[in-house]
Amino acid sequence: MSRHFNAVLNTILRLHEILLKQPDSAAHSCSHEKWRWFQNCLGALDGTHIKVNVSMSDRPRYRSRKGDITTNVLGVCSQNGEFIFVMPGWEESTSDSRVLKDAVSQPSGLKAPKGYYYLCDTGYLNAEGFLAPYRGQHYHLTEWRGGNPPKWPKELFNMRHSYARNVIERAFGSLKDRWAILRGRSYYPVDIQCKIITACCLLHTLIHREMDSEATFEEPHLGEDDSSEMNIENVNSVERLMSGLNGGIILQTKCLRIGIMYD
C-alpha cells in the first residue's frame, strides 16, 4: 500500500508544470468589480498553516501559537481563484516575508513580470511585483460593514485591496474543505506531507478548471461606499506624502488615484 501511495503521489506531482501555470502577463484591462482598481494585477498571495509530523528536536520551530506543529505554506492564486504557485515546508516560526523571499529567489520560483504584481497583506513588504495595503489603517472587510464606510483615501484603497485579496483566503478555505488530510493531524514524515500538500493543490486546481460549478466561491459582501466625497485633491496630498518612497508605495498611490477617479 505504501509503495502504491508514493507512486500515485509522485505521478500527481509530475503534473506541476501543467496545472500550476502563472497567469498570462499580456496587458489587460479588467472590468470586474473587485479587480478594476488593480490593473495588471495577476492575483493574490498569502500564507496558511497545515499540520505536519516532525522530530521532537524540530518541534519548537514548527510549533504555532495554538501549540500545533505546522508548516508555513505560501500559496498564490489567480484572479479566478486557481492556485498558480504553492510552496510548503517552512517552519511555522518563519515570517511570511522570509518565505516569500525564498520563493522569489528560486530559479523556478514565483515571478512577477515587470509592470505586473500580486496583492499581499501587511505580513509582507511592498516591493516590485508585490502590493501590500497601507499600514495603520483599517483593512479587514468586517471593519466597513454596518454603515461604516471608508473615511479617507487610504482606507478606501485598503477596503478595495482587501476585497480583491480575499480570493486567496477563500481559495485556501475551499482547499481545506475539500481535502480532509490537510485539516487534521499528519502521520506522514514532513517531506511526504509537503508533497501531499502540493498534490492536493494540483488536484484542486484541476477540479476548479474542469468543474467550475464545484469551485464557485461566495463573494464577500461590501456595504454602500460613501467614497464619492473623496476627491482628487485628497489623493494628490497622499501622493505628495509618499513621494520618493519605493515602487510598492508609489503603486499603492496610483491604484488609489484610479479608484477615486472611477467614483
Considering the domain boundaries, does residue 94 fall inside one?
A: yes
Please tell me the total count of domains within the chain: 1
Regarding beta strands 83-91 and 70-78, do their DSSP bridges make them parallel or antiparallel, or are they unpaired? antiparallel
Residue 1 domain-assigned? no
Q: Which of 68, 77, 51 is nearest to 187 (CA)?
A: 51
For residue 178, the one-letter residue type is: R
CA distance 184 to 186: 6
pLDDT bucket at 76, cuts 50 / 70 / 90? very high
The model's pTM: 0.79
Mean pLDDT is lowest, of 14-23, 196-205, 223-232, for 223-232
Residue 83 in contact with residue 75, Cβ under 8 Å? Answer: yes
SS (H, E, C) 231-248: CHHHHHHHHHHHCCCCHH
Is the pLDDT at 225 greater than 50, yes or no?
no
Q: Is 2 within a domain? A: no
Listing DSSP states for 131-189 in one string gives EPPPTTS--SGGGGTTT----SHHHHHHHHHHHHHHHHHHHHHHHHHH-GGGTS---SB
Q: Is residue 66 part of a domain?
A: yes
Q: Is residue 3 part of a domain?
A: no
C-alpha cell belonging to residue 22: 502563472
Does 230 have pLDDT greater than 90? no
Per the structure, the complete domain to which residue 154 belongs is given by 9-27+37-262
| Structural domain contains residue 32 | no
Cβ contacts of 45 within 8 Å, gap of 6 or more = 74, 75, 76, 77, 85, 100, 110, 118, 119, 120, 124, 130, 168
What is the average pLDDT across 26-49? 82
Alpha-carbon distances of 23 from 3, 117, 137, 196, 218, rounded to whole Å: 35, 11, 30, 24, 22
Please check whether residue 4 lies inside any domain of the structure.
Answer: no
What is the model's pLDDT at position 226? 42
Instruction: Give the per-residue pLDDT at 68.
Output: 93
**Rounded Cα distance, 77 and 171, in Å:** 8
Residue 45 lies in a domain: yes
pLDDT category at 28 given cuts 50, 70, 90 is: low
